[in-house]
Chains A and B, each alone.
Chain A
Amino acid sequence: MSNNVPAELRYTKSHEWVRKNPDGTATIGITDHAQHALGDLVFAETPESGRTLAAGEACAVVESVKAASDVYAPLAGTVLEGNGGLADAPEKINTDPYGEGWLWKLKPAAIEDLEALLDASGYQRLLAESAE
């Protein structure tokens, strides 16, 4: 299975990714590995803007034909925007998980929390271990 794990992102054990944007906000999505495991996505529900999230809170749902899965907030903060484009095209999560398939943008409560997440090599190790 091909696993694209971009070096510049941070990751969680539950297969979310976080991108730190230049303006201090963060963008969140699910990893290439996760979209692959779920299969063809048919629906995505993202958190509404303004919602306050605690780290680890289930706040989005992605659904394929064979599974519906919660997506957990990697960081605490306030939701700036959910990806409205997914309503008509959830397949963007399959085709471009790190780009157009993003789930929500967040104003983190403390951006330094990012440092506690896995880096690309740590996430790759996690994938290698779970494949054994």
Chain B
Amino acid sequence: MSDTQSGAAQREPTIFELSRPGRGATAQMPPPLAAQVPAELRRRRRPLLPEVSELQAVRHYTRLSQLNFSIDTHFYPLGSCTMKYNPRGCNQYAMLPEFLGRHPLAPVSLGQGVLACLHELQEMLKEVTGMQGVSLTPMAGAQGEFAGVAMIRAYHRARGDLARNEIIVPEAAHGTNPATASMCGMKVIEIPCNAEGDCDLDALRNVVGPNTAGIMLTNPSTLGVFERTIADIEKLVHAAGGLLYYDGANLNAILGKVRPGDMGFDVIHMNLHKTFSTPHGGGGPGAGAVGVGARLLPYLPIPVVGRDGDTYRWLDERDLPASIGRLSGFMGNAGVLLRAYIYMRMVGREGMQRIGEYATLNANYLLARFRQAGFEPAYPSRRATHEFILTMKREAREHGATAMDFAKRLLDFGYHAPTTYFPLLVPECLLIEPTETEAKEALDGFVDAMIAIQREAAADPSRLKGAPYTLPVRRLDDVRAAKQLDLTWKPAA
């Protein structure tokens, strides 16, 4: 690999710089028809949209795509994100023209096919989580979380239990947990984890009480360990009158093995774009289906697919009057849901069990190799779940090589960086999740790259500070970006 290779050749001007007045893809435009807009409502100046040929646009965006890492081109050991392969078949069948052309408000008689798929998806998700009901409408994990906490709030309010306005969140939780609780008008109570990565039960005992609305738990936790005190937590919180929320971000680790419903959880959200392999699309769309136990069934967000005999229909306000309401303009990210449905059908019941097994096997294999190579696990006494944390404390102390330096240098070796500086509790941490879809050779290559970087750090730490060298750009000036805000392209004066 040549470190001196410049990325400059890969740079691409903005589409606006390619624009020339009067150019356009006329073949893609309808014939001009006159429209009568009242003068006072008429637009006076045209918007700044590029005037390019279709080929220019195709070439520009194809080139831009080539500046990205992606699962199809690179290994993403990105902890907490479950970057597994997105099977192409899921996309192909979800993009059949009949599905794409269906208007969401068309009569259900014209949508029995798609509704059957969504109803079966609800049933399959109930089955794998052990919950009593599922709503597919939340459009992302964060919206699923919102739905979950909103249901907990609605449950207590419906019982006249108005004092319950506190949500307990372990400090290792994803930032969305406290942000969600605040959005639901709840007070966030953070509790610590102990040195082995389990929830601190004494701290929990001190904060549960008549104000507890519920607890939000990620299990396995974001520390890359299974929460061993789950049964105790369940007893404590339920005995105090609170409900248990399961953040399904790490569901991949337990798929087909244990079910949150059986552990006593009242509500769970699932990231279909993680566990069920729908694509990340460079940052979305996701889908954050929620599952609930019996107590929260009346509050599920609408619409939910219902079945009367052989016909399916959307259940709405009339069917679920206590629902927390609608979270989207229509019925959630249907196209994403179809992909998850196809994925689950392709994998099947047996395949589902192997997902959890291979995801944890791959993680434990990686962890073992890293131990062998002298890297330091954050929780040395614990096995990995589907992910684990290395701490680069020693490398930072001895060579000044931080977790961020390792992350950036990995890009030069052709590996996407692991999750860095999350969870905030572990200093200089790398959260690593290989997923079940990576072959042994990919895992070995990644370990070898880390070893090579560790050697570099010892020999010449400044080498790491300047990384990456081989990408389209080198490290970017974040301070300048935030101070001299340049958020839109402007024509030269």
- A residues contacting B by CB (< 8 A) are 40, 42-43, 63, 65, 90-91
Contact = CB atoms under 8 A, between A and B. Distances in A.
B310 interface: no
A84 B478 CA distance: 24
B479 interface: yes
Interface string B480-492: 0011000000000
Nearest to A89: B483
B407 to A, nearest CB: 15
A42 B482 CA distance: 6
Give the contact-size bracket for chain B.
under 10
Contacts of A42: 479, 482-483
Contacts of B482: 42-43, 63, 65
Contacts of A43: 482-483
Q: Is the interface of A mostly helix, strand, loop or mixed?
A: loop
Contacts of A63: 482
A85 B482 CA distance: 17
Given A43-B482, A65-B479, A91-B483, 4 more contacts: A40-B479, A42-B479, A43-B483, A90-B483
12 contacts: A40-B479, A42-B479, A42-B482, A42-B483, A43-B482, A43-B483, A63-B482, A65-B478, A65-B479, A65-B482, A90-B483, A91-B483
A67 B232 CA distance: 35
A63 B482 CA distance: 10
Interface of B: 478-479, 482-483
A42 B479 CA distance: 7
Contacts of B483: 42-43, 90-91
B133 to A, nearest CB: 38
Nearest to A43: B482
Nearest to B481: A65
Nearest to B421: A66
Contacts of A40: 479
Contacts of A65: 478-479, 482
Most buried by B among A40, A43, A90: A40
Contacts of B479: 40, 42, 65
B469 to A, nearest CB: 22
B182 to A, nearest CB: 14
A11 to B, nearest CB: 25
A21 B478 CA distance: 37
Shortest Cβ-Cβ A-B pairs, 8 listed: A42-B482, A65-B478, A40-B479, A42-B483, A65-B482, A65-B479, A42-B479, A43-B482
A43 B485 CA distance: 11
B111 to A, nearest CB: 45
Nearest to B482: A42
A91 B482 CA distance: 12
B131 to A, nearest CB: 37
B159 to A, nearest CB: 34
A101 to B, nearest CB: 15
Contacts of A91: 483
A95 B1 CA distance: 42
A90 B482 CA distance: 11
A61 B467 CA distance: 33
A63 B483 CA distance: 10
B479 to A, nearest CB: 4
A42 B478 CA distance: 10
A92 to B, nearest CB: 12
B185 to A, nearest CB: 18
Contacts of A90: 483
A75 to B, nearest CB: 26
Nearest to A65: B478
Nearest to A91: B483
Nearest to A40: B479
A40 B482 CA distance: 10
A42 B483 CA distance: 5
A115 B121 CA distance: 65
A43 B478 CA distance: 13
A83 B483 CA distance: 17
A65 B478 CA distance: 7
A65 to B, nearest CB: 4
B70 to A, nearest CB: 26
A86 to B, nearest CB: 12
A40 B478 CA distance: 10
B400 to A, nearest CB: 15
A3 B147 CA distance: 46
Contacts of B478: 65
A67 to B, nearest CB: 11
